[in-house]
Structure 1
Amino acid sequence: MPDAPEIKQIHEWFLHRGLPLVLTRRVRSRNLIARSAPMVSGVGALTAVTMLLAEVTGDRPDYGYALRLGVIGAVLLGAPFGLYVLHRLDTSRGEAGRRGAALLVMAIFVVVMPVTVSGWTGAAAAEAPLFVVITLLAVWLTYLGFGSIAAWAFRFAWVQLGALGTLMSRALPLLMLTVVVYFTGELWQLAARMTRQRLWQVIGFLALVALLFMVTTIRDEVRALREDRAENTDTARLLAATPLAVAAGRAVPRTPLSRGEQINVVAVMVVSQAIQVVFFTAGLFAFFLALGVIAVPDDVAVLWSAEESCAVGQPPCAGTWFGVHVPVPQTVVHMSLFVAVLSGLYFTVSTSVDPLYRERFFDPLIADVAVSLAGRDVYLELEQSTRHELP
Structure 2
Amino acid sequence: MIEGYRFVDHVLPRMLPSLAFVALASLAWLVPLRSAGSHGWILLGGVAVMTLAAWGTSTVLVRRLPRFSRRAATAFLAVYATMPVAVPLLQLAVDGAVTPPGGRVVGLLGFVIFFAAVFVSTLLATTYGLGTLLRRAVRHSVFDLRNSVHLLGRALPALLFVTLFLFFTGELWQAMNRLAWWRVVLVIVLFAAITVLAAAARLRDEIGRVEQDLSRPTLAAACRGTPLAGVRFEQLAPEGQLPAMPLTPRQERNLLLMLASRQLMQAAVVGLTLFTFFLALGVLVVTPETAEQWIGGKPQMSALFPVIPVAMLRNATLLAAFGSMYFAVTSMTDADHRQRFFAPIIDEVEHVLTVHAVYLAVRERTPAAAHRPGIG
TM-score, normalization by structure 2: 0.66
Equivalent residue number for residue 186 of structure 2: 201
- CA radius of gyration, larger in: 2
1:165, distance to aligned residue in structure 2 (A): 4.3
| Contact 1:351-1:357 at 8 Å conserved across structures | yes
Question: Compared with structure 1, are the counterparts of its residues 389 and 190 closer, same or farther at alpha carbon in structure 2 (3 Å cutoff)?
Answer: closer
1:212 alignment partner in structure 2: 197
Return the match for 1:135 from 89, 104, 118: 118
**SS of the counterpart of 1:29?**
helix
8 Å Cα contact 2:134-2:261 kept in structure 1: yes
Superposition CA RMSD, Å: 4.7
Counterparts of residues 307-386 of structure 1 (less than 5 Å): 307-308=297-298, 316-319=300-303, 325=304, 327=306, 328-384=308-364, 385-386=366-367
* SS at structure 1 position matched to 2:266: helix
> Percent of pairs identical after alignment?
25
2: CA distance, partners of 1:300 / 1:85? 63
Match of 1:312 in 2: none
Could you tell me which residue of structure 2 aligns to residue 258 of structure 1?
Answer: 248
The answer to whether the 8 A contact 2:16-2:58 is kept is: no
Q: Is the 8 A contact 2:292 2:298 kept in 1?
A: yes
Write out aligned runs for 1:43-82 (5 A).
none
Alignment of 1:234-249 (within 5 A): 234-247=218-231, 249=233
1:286 counterpart residue number:
276
3-state SS, counterpart of residue 228 of structure 2: coil
> Aligned pair in 2 of structure 1 residues 35, 156: CA closer, same or farther (>3 Å)?
farther
Between stretches 80-89 and 137-146, larger displacement belongs to: 80-89
Q: Give, in whole Å, the separation in 2 of the partners of 1:144 and 1:183.
A: 43
1:179 pairs with 2:164: yes
Name the count of aligned residue pairs. 317
8 Å contact from structure 1 (residues 22, 376) kept in 2 = no
1:220 deviates by 0.8
Query: Residue 131 of structure 2 corresponds to which residue in structure 1?
Result: 147
1: CA distance between counterparts of 2:113 and 2:297?
Answer: 37
CA contact (8 A) 1:161 1:276 kept: no
- Report the more deviating stretch, 244-253 or 84-93: 84-93
Counterpart residue identity of residue 15, structure 2: I
Is the CA contact (8 Å cut-off) linking 2:268 and 2:324 kept in structure 1?
Answer: yes
Indicate yes or no: 2:211 matched with 1:221: no
Residue 187 of structure 1 and its aligned partner are, at CA, apart by: 0.5
CA 338–22 in structure 1, closer or farther in 2 if over 3 Å, else same: farther
Provide the rounded CA distance (Å) in 1 between the counterparts of 2:123 and 2:337: 35
- Pick closer, same or farther for the CA change 1:340–1:84 going to 2, 3 Å: farther
1:35: how far off? 5.4
Q: Which amino acid aligns with 1:357?
A: H
Q: In structure 2, the residue corresponding to 1:200 is in which secondary structure? A: helix
Counterpart amino acid of residue 243 in structure 1:
P
Contact 1:32 1:143 survives alignment (8 Å): no
Change (3 A) 1:267 1:143: closer
State the Cα deviation string for residues 96-150 of structure 1 (Å, max 9, x = none). xxxx9xx99xx9xxx9xxxxxxx96318837555543541232121223222333
Letter matched to residue 202 of structure 2? T
State the distance in 2 between where 1:38 and 1:290 align. Answer: 48
Task: Give the direction of change, closer, same or farther, for the CA distance of 1:24–1:92 in structure 2 (3 Å limit).
Answer: closer
Distance 1:331 1:213 in 2: 30
Runs of 4+ with >4 A deviation: 35-40, 79-93, 126-130, 160-165, 325-328, 387-390
* 1:224-264 C-alpha deviation (Å, 9 max, x unpaired): 12212x24643233212222323465515542222222222
- Mapped pair 1:275 → 2:265: yes
Give the residue type in structure 2 aligned to 1:136: F
Unaligned runs of 5+ in 2: 23-40, 66-75, 88-98, 372-376
**Aligned residue among 21, 32, 46 for 2:14:** 32
Residues 192 and 307 in structure 1, CA contact (< 8 A), matched pair in contact too: no
Cα distance in 1 between the residues matched to 2:167 and 2:145: 27
Determine the C-alpha separation between the residues in 1 that align with 2:282 and 2:52.
Answer: 39
Instruction: State the Cα distance separating 1:164 from its structure 2 match.
Output: 6.1
Give the partner amino acid of 1:279. V
Counterpart-to-counterpart distance in 2, 1:224 and 1:180: 40
2:121 partner amino acid? A
Distance 1:80 1:180 in 2: 54
* C-alpha separation in 1, matches of 2:283 and 2:53: 39
Helix, strand or coil at the partner of 1:212: helix
Gap change, CA 1:169 and 1:85, over 3 Å in 2: farther
Shift in CA distance, 281/22, structure 1 to aligned 2, threshold 3 Å: farther
